Amino acid sequence: MNYLHKFYLVEAERHQVLGKKVEAMEMYDRAIKIAKENEYINEEALSNELAAKFYLEWGKENIAQVYLTDAYYAYARWGAKAKVEDLEKRYPKLLAPILNQKSALNVGETIAQ
């Protein structure tokens, strides 16, 4: 079992708290990459979500949207429906492209029925 992604995630959060943004960015990306490579979907999702929050706090909304979208899809792949719904409620603006697409699919399904 590989725990390196957890180490990098903790380091990312530590650097974030200390205001070391460049180091935090690198650690979030390492945590995500290693979690993904080792198929820890839940921790890939969490790392993406925390990276998104980091970028939001820094005022980098466009970058945060990329990480949040990845978190959303990872949580969905993991089957964490409640977490997906939580993200939809907390970040409707950032997830608008997904939510709009989802709404269009639901309308299409209704019409087809």
Tens-binned pLDDT, residue by residue, of the chain (113 aa)? 689 999 999 999 999 999 999 999 999 999 999 999 999 999 999 999 999 999 999 999 999 999 999 999 999 999 999 999 999 999 999 999 998 887 655 544 444 44
What residues does each domain of the chain span?
Answer: 4-112
Give, to the nearest 10 degrees, the angle between helix 61-78 and helix 41-57: 160
Sign of the torsion angle spanned by Cα atoms 23, 72, 87, 107: positive
Is residue 28 within 8 Å of 51, Cβ to Cβ?
yes
Q: What is the pTM of this model?
A: 0.87
> Where does residue 19 fall: left (phi above 0), alpha (psi -120 to 50 degrees), or beta otherwise?
left
Rounded to whole angstroms, the Cα distance separating 47 from 49 reads 5
Rounded to whole angstroms, the Cα distance separating 70 from 64 reads 10
Please tell me whether residue 7 adopts helix, strand or coil conformation. Answer: helix
Fold topology of 4-112:
1.25.40
